[in-house]
């Protein structure tokens, strides 16, 4: 074996590693862009939002999608940029190759461990798969396989001295720093206000807090089409001892994840509870408390939901709107309306109805007086719920009343 073959693995291996890193850079850039779009709108039309079980928005909206306020995509960009620099140096047999080889091996192993940890969180805690994240996991595992093959063949020739490691890892640290600093310099300023970013995971870890507010608020519920500005659509008997009121936005990811939890809670509680839905769209088209049109279709979807309710189909439309939230648009909402029996003429009339708009704005006013500052917000017998929005947690609080 020649001296070169001992000091430098076959060039094809490093070219493969470089290609993997470049694919990783592109994936990380897409992930970062998707994350920021979600932060600015609360919703995206990403193709990877297939269902509640396969949903990039849900994963990106969780508290696990950022470290120190920086999206994981940015950290991933720094990581893959470092791997690309190291692999490129090794592929060209640069004079610093000896210093960069051990650093690449260590980072390849770190990538595998990190991917396994994130995959465990996605499957074990969020119960949701992100296809973009899955792509990253595949890339890091492929790098891990390359690293294992190299280690098996060359462990006796690799210099893991402190001086060599510091030299190689400093290159990687610079690449990561460039990514983070660059992101902070171009970070978009237009984001959904933090108080309204009540995304999945926001309330995790609040078990030490009371799960119901100590004060009770009287939230008016209109039980007839002729009371107030219109009927509040609800399910369950009007004389139920448990009244659960939800303020939500049809384009809010957290609202979409909460909807099936509340549906299951209703199934479990039956006639013991009444569930009331009120609108709180995050759009200045019908909510004066929101500065911009963050959720561009939320007001129209709310109007068509009430339109369906006026024709006895509110909960059917409601379920469709949340089930297909990732594809939300005005035309999609009209499709939902047609599927529950609304005609185009009825929907046109409802979209232009000043009465329906006034009712939605009245819901917003009630929410503001009740201290609603995030979606979804749930009140149980007039007391604000502050725990995790899962069937088991909600039921535990209700049973303790």
Whether 49 and 173 map to the same domain: the answer is yes
Q: Are strands 273-279 and 242-248 parallel, antiparallel or unpaired?
A: parallel
Write out the two tokens for 166.
């510091």
Same domain, 171 and 202: no
Read off the pLDDT of residues 220-258 as tens digits, 9 standing for 90 and up. 999 998 888 999 999 999 999 999 999 999 999 889 989
Residues 120 and 214 in one domain: no
Final residue of a domain: which of 191, 218, 240? 191
| Domain boundary residue, one of 191, 210, 229 | 191
Q: What is the CATH number of the domain that holds 322?
A: 3.40.30.10
pLDDT value, residue 399: 87
pTM of the model: 0.57
- Inter-residue contact 272 to 240 (CB < 8 Å): yes
Mean pLDDT comparison of 98-112, 207-221, 253-267, highest-scoring range: 253-267
* DSSP states along 54-121: B-HHHHHHSGGGEETTEEHHHHHHHHHHHHHHHHHHHHTT-TTHHHHHHHHHHHHHHHHHHHHHHHHH
Angstrom distance (rounded) from CA 244 to CA 362: 18
- Between 88 and 245, the higher pLDDT residue: 245
Average pLDDT, the chain: 86
pLDDT digits (tens, 9 = 90+) for 361-380: 999 999 999 998 889 999 99
Upper half-sphere CA count for residue 396 (Cβ side, 13 Å):
11
More confident residue, 116 or 153: 116
Q: What is the pLDDT of residue 59?
A: 87
Confidence of residue 42 (pLDDT cuts 50, 70, 90): low
312 in Cβ contact with 30 (< 8 Å) = no
- For the chain, what percent of residues have pLDDT higher than 90? 54
**Over 70: is that where the pLDDT of 114 sits?**
yes
Residue written as token pair 């009007």: 238
Same domain? 96 vs 224: no
Same domain, 205 and 219: yes
Question: Could you tell me the sign of the dihedral formed by the alpha carbons of 16, 18, 22, 25, in that order?
Answer: positive
Per-residue pLDDT of 302-335, as tens digits, reads 999 999 999 999 999 999 999 999 889 999 999 9
Helix (H, G, I), strand (E, B) or coil at 212: strand
pLDDT band at 4 (very low <50, low <70, confident <90, very high): very low
pLDDT at 194: 47
- Please say which residue of 191, 213, 237 terminates a domain: 191
pLDDT digits over 259-289, tens only?
999 999 999 999 999 999 999 999 999 998 8
| Burial (Cβ within 10 Å: 0-12, 13-18, ≥19) of residue 130 | buried
Task: List Cβ neighbours of 165 (8 Å cut-off, separation of 6 or more).
Answer: 102, 103, 106
Question: Residue 200: what pLDDT?
Answer: 44
Domain with residue 182: its CATH number is 1.20.1440.130
- The pLDDT value given to residue 56: 87
Same domain, 171 and 95: yes
At 49 the pLDDT is 77
In this structure, are 58 and 81 located in the same domain?
yes
Considering the domain architecture, whether residues 98 and 223 belong to the same structural domain is answered as no
Domain tally for the chain? 2
- Residue 30: its pLDDT value, please? 94
Q: Are residues 10 and 132 in the same domain?
A: yes
CA nearest to 198, candidates 76, 376, 387, 21: 376
Are 212 and 285 members of one domain? yes
Question: Is the bond into 376 cis (omega within 30 degrees of 0)?
Answer: yes
Which of these, 36, 18, 169, lies nearest to 92 by C-alpha position?
A: 18
pLDDT at 46: 79
Question: pLDDT, tens digit, for every residue of 330-365?
Answer: 999 999 999 999 999 999 999 999 999 999 999 999
- What's the pLDDT at 211? 81
297 shares a domain with 206: yes
Range of the domain at 136: 3-191
pLDDT digits (tens, 9 = 90+) for 154-206: 777 777 788 777 877 887 888 888 888 888 777 654 454 444 444 444 444 44
pLDDT of residue 188: 57
Asked if 141 and 43 sit in the same domain, the reply is: yes
d(CA 304, CA 225): 16
């Amino acid at each position: 074996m020649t001296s070169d073959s001992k000091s430098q693995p076959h060039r094809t291996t490093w070219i493969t590693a470089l290609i993997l890193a470049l694919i990783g850079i592109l994936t990380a850039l897409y992930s970062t862009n998707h994350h920021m779009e979600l932060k600015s709108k609360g919703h995206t039309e990403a193709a990877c939002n297939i269902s509640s079980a396969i949903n990039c928005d849900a994963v990106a909206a969780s508290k696990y999608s950022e470290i120190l306020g920086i999206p994981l995509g940015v950290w991933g960009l720094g990581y893959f940029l470092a791997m690309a620099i190291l692999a490129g140096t090794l592929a060209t047999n640069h004079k610093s190759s000896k210093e960069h080889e051990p650093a690449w091996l260590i980072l390849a192993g770190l990538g595998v461990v990190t991917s396994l940890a994130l995959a465990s969180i996605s499957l074990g805690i969020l119960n949701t798969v992100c296809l973009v994240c899955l792509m990253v996991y595949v890339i890091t595992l492929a790098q891990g396989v390359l690293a294992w093959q190299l280690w098996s063949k060359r462990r006796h020739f690799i210099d893991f001295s402190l001086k060599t490691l510091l030299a190689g890892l400093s290159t990687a640290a610079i690449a990561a720093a460039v990514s983070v600093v660059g992101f902070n310099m171009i970070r978009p300023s237009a984001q959904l206000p933090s108080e309204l970013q009540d995304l999945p995971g926001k309330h995790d870890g609040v078990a030490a807090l009371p799960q119901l507010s100590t004060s009770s608020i009287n939230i008016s519920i209109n039980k007839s089409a002729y009371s107030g500005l219109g009927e509040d659509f609800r399910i369950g008997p009007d004389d139920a001892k448990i009244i659960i009121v939800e303020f939500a936005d049809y384009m809010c990811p957290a609202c979409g994840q909460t909807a099936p939890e509340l549906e299951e809670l209703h199934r479990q509680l039956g006639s013991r509870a009444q569930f009331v839905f009120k609108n709180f769209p995050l759009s200045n088209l019908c909510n004066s408390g929101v500065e911009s049109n963050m959720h561009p279709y939320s007001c129209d979807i709310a109007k068509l939901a009430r339109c369906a309710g006026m024709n006895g189909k509110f909960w059917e439309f409601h379920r469709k709107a949340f089930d297909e939230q990732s594809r939300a648009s005005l035309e999609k909402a009209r499709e939902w309306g047609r599927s529950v029996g609304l005609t185009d003429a009825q929907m046109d009339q409802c979209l232009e109805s000043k009465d329906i708009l006034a009712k939605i704005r009245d819901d917003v006013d009630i929410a503001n007086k009740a201290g609603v500052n995030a979606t979804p917000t749930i009140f149980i017998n007039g007391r604000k719920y502050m725990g995790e929005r899962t069937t088991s947690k909600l039921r535990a609080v209700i049973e303790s009343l």
